[in-house]
Structure 1
Amino acid sequence: MANVKIDPSWQELLNEEFEKPYFNQLTAFVREAYQTHMVFPPAANIFRAFDSCPADRLKVVIIGQDPYHNVGQANGLCFSVAAGTQFPPSLQNILKEVSDDTGAPYPETGELDRWAEQGVLMLNSVLTVQAHTPTSHAGKGWEEFTDAVVRTIAQRKNHVVYMLWGSYAQRKAAAVDPAENCILTAPHPSPLSAFRGFFGCKHFSRANEYLVSTGQTPIVW
């Protein structure tokens, strides 16, 4: 991860984490992986979720599992794809729910930078993946790092909306105080589970209702 920098607001919050032995081991693993295999997202985008949503703007946290593993998909924001890329099924279902819930038109691009720029941290639990090999970088240290990210947010900031889709994401919020934040849970938006309660969850309008109730600006989904 040499030459990869993270937004200064997050650098300050996570500096201690970057100094821990597990993170040094993770860095060595990731550096070697990029040198010897095709790995996604592009190295410069590993920390893009943080760079696109500085800590002082944070309002909403969406947690994914690991990056898309096919060529040209992963761009550093969970569930998002680069402009011009065909929408993966989970993203199709997310955008369908946005449209059904809020009345927003179904977008032409799956690039979700517009959400991040409004204060949505779009964080995968594992930040890198080998091409065509899902979860290949699981268990290497990323989960410990992203657990620490969520824990740090929970310790320092209240009135945050957490959108947690599927049991994997829901476990991530163990450190979050539900009395001081808004925790929205639903099945994962993948085609295997979206019809079990993701469709109709109305998380996007519910998130905005909570943000307004706590004096914050709603997200234009």
Structure 2
Amino acid sequence: MFDTSRLGAWADLPFFTDDLPAIADKLDGTAFLPPTALTFKALERTQPDAVKVVILGQDPYHTAGKADGLAFSIPDDFGGKLDSLGNIFKELHSDLDLDRSKTSLDDWADQGVLLLNTALTVPLGQAKAHAKIGWSKLVTQVLQNLGAKPRAFILWGGPAKAYALQITGPHLIHTSAHPSPLSCHRGFFGSRPFSTVNQWLIDSGNTPINWADPL
């Protein structure tokens, strides 16, 4: 079901031999988002050594055509409501006075931002329905794998914040409410994740992220 040939160094995680087959069995014959070809896009696009920042969300968008395999990212030609991503852009403007028109976040991933969800699949129209089918083992292994050198972790929402205990070492851990319309006013707006992370990267001798449209 799942093509893992493009995982690169991530393929060494035990999850892909020990746990993925059971998840594939559970999903066999069911409809879910994003398409199987995009399920592991976040890992494929941002390899372990390239990760500077991790943004951890909840689960993919459960609207057809909206989830593209990167947490919070939406295809540029989607044309529907942005919901969480729209609120992320509002906070970006408030935080750094930057505007962004591209809804695809491929350029963030290419700069070393791992855009991962706590569940990598979701049934159409059923948010959080795949939260307990085994994806948590992958997320745990990814976070533990990234612990060897300092990185910035942005954890948005309760499911993401629950993984803070898996992050050990001299990292930046920035947490807030989820940017969804249901929770954005409970601490997401005003949390200033983008300036906080960029200042931490600069202080650590790294290049900051260009959060605006790619140059």
Q: Same fold (TM over 0.5)?
A: yes
| Conservation of the 8 A alpha-carbon contact between 1:40 and 1:67 | yes
| Conservation of the 8 A alpha-carbon contact between 1:4 and 1:43 | no
CA distance in 2, matches of 1:220, 1:51: 21
Partner in structure 2 of residue 159 of structure 1: 150
> What CA deviation, in whole Å up to 9, does each residue of 1:38-88 have, x standing for no partner?
311111101000111111110000111111111100100011111122243
Match of 2:84, as an amino acid?
S
**Structure 2 stretches lacking a partner, 5+ long:** none
Partner in structure 2 of residue 125 of structure 1: 118
1:96 to 87, 90, 95: 90
Partner in structure 2 of residue 180 of structure 1: 170
User: Normalized against structure 2, the TM-score is what?
Assistant: 0.91
Match of 2:183, as an amino acid?
S
> How far did 1:205 drift?
0.5
| Conservation of the 8 A alpha-carbon contact between 1:150 and 1:173 | no
> How far did 1:111 drift?
0.7
Q: Partner of 1:170: helix, strand, or coil? A: helix
| Conservation of the 8 A alpha-carbon contact between 1:81 and 1:87 | no
**Structure 1 stretches lacking a partner, 5+ long:** none
Match of 2:20, as an amino acid?
F
> What CA deviation, in whole Å up to 9, does each residue of 1:158-194 have, x standing for no partner?
22110011222111121212x5000001111122221
Q: Partner of 1:123: helix, strand, or coil? A: strand
Going from structure 1 to structure 2, the CA distance change for 1:194 and 1:170 (only over 3 Å counts) comes to: same
- For the pair 1:68 / 2:58, whether they are aligned, the reply is no
Partner in structure 2 of residue 139 of structure 1: 132
**1:35-74 equivalent positions in 2, closer than 5 A:** 36-74=29-67
Q: Aligned pair count? A: 210
Partner in structure 2 of residue 204 of structure 1: 194
CA distance in 1, matches of 2:202, 2:102: 27
User: Normalized against structure 1, the TM-score is what?
Assistant: 0.89
Identical aligned residues as a percent:
37
> How far did 1:108 drift?
2.1
Partner in structure 2 of residue 24 of structure 1: 21
Match of 1:148, as an amino acid?
Q
Q: Partner of 1:220: helix, strand, or coil? A: coil
CA distance in 2, matches of 1:87, 1:124: 20
Q: Which moved more, 1:205-214 or 1:188-197?
A: 188-197
